[in-house]
Amino acid sequence: MGNPLGVHALVWTGGWAPEDAELAISSTAKAGFDLIEIPALDPSRIDIADTKQRLDAHGLKAGFSLGLTFETDINSEDSACVERGRATLMSALEVARGVGSSYLGGVLFGALGKYPAPVTDRARANSASVIKELAQEAARDDIVVGLEFVNRYESNLLNTVQQTLDYMDVVDEANVVVHADVYHMNIEENGFRKPLLLCGDRLGYVHIGESNRGYLGEGTIDFGEVFEALADVDYTGPMTFESFSSAVVDPQLSNTLAVWRNLWSDSMDLATHARAFISDGMKRARDTRGQRAQ
């Protein structure tokens, strides 16, 4: 049994006007993926009915992701800031619900960006309290909330699996899962196997990206170790390919992620290569595991 495989919309386009949505959704289907991850940093730019109709027409599912800004940071001691973040998250949840998606993930727990100082207890408590409320609201429609821990330059709150599990214990809601991204793990963890085993069944979503966020296999990430660990925890959830190049720009997200270089320009070649790389890699890992068990 295989994992649902997805691709981030920014592989295709940086906008979400109807023609952008059509390009991204039809290309995702054509490349053989099961789902598309749609960035919802500004939930108001997504036309819910139009997006749903195009997904249905191409037989695709969607997940939504976002990171907050420092103006909407719930990982803050400023209550006005926290309230703005709460409103953004609830709007994003409305979009996911309206489109019929079962996944909302990303840096939901705070701002996506470099903080000038370490996290404080009060800011962390504010963050966990809003995420608890979001999860309870999401549970009404069986929507899973994924916490994507990221590298130190993109959050001061959750940089590792262990920190994410500890934070999840505070939130204490069953529909909150770990969203692991190997690009970030490559920077912050001592390896891939131990932290992925530590997640166990609390792992709910995986981003597959290279160390330079380009073509899979051309960087330094040990994907053999990643895929074997995922097979060993019997991970059957979504695996979404994430890659960024200056060839495709989202005015908001690309600058936040420091996408300055052109790592590719042929989106379809990149995406079909990634799909085969992930699918073949997971099959190999499961076969190896099966042989060891015999």
Residues that bind Mn ion in the complex, under the rule CB under 5 A: 181, 207, 242
Q: Is 137 a catalytic residue?
A: no
Give SS3 for 11. helix
Cβ–Cβ under 8 Å, residues 217 and 277: yes
Residue 3: closest CA among 230, 271, 239: 239
Residue among 37, 148, 154, 189 flagged as catalytic: 148
Residue that the structure tokens 């590792």 belong to: 160
Residue 52: closest CA among 7, 115, 117, 97: 97
- Name beta bridge partners: 180: 206
Residue 159: closest CA among 118, 116, 213: 118
**Cβ-based nearer residue to Mn ion, 86 or 207:** 207
**Cβ-based nearer residue to Mn ion, 38 or 81:** 38
Residue among 37, 154, 210, 242 flagged as catalytic: 242
**Cβ-based nearer residue to Mn ion, 181 or 189:** 181
Rounded to the nearest whole angstrom, what is the least distance from the CB of residue 235 to Mn ion in the complex? 16
Amino acid identity of residue 177, one-letter, is V
What tokens does 89 get?
A: 């998250």
DSSP string of 248-264, one letter each residue: S--TTHHHHTT--S---
Q: Distances from the Cα of 31 to the Cαs of 6, 22, 28, 185, in angstroms?
A: 10, 14, 5, 27
Cβ–Cβ under 8 Å, residues 114 and 153: yes
What tokens does 193 get?
A: 């196997």
**Cβ-based nearer residue to Mn ion, 126 or 242:** 242
Rounded to the nearest whole angstrom, what is the least distance from the CB of residue 148 to Mn ion in the complex? 6
Give SS3 for 103. strand
- Cβ atoms < 10 Å from Cβ of 123: 23
CA pair distance 6, 275, nearest whole angstrom: 8
Residue that the structure tokens 């073509």 belong to: 215
**Cβ-based nearer residue to Mn ion, 81 or 208:** 208
**Cβ-based nearer residue to Mn ion, 184 or 286:** 184
Q: Is 148 a catalytic residue?
A: yes
Rounded to the nearest whole angstrom, what is the least distance from the CB of residue 181 to Mn ion in the complex? 4
Q: Would you name the residues annotated as active-site residues?
A: 148, 242
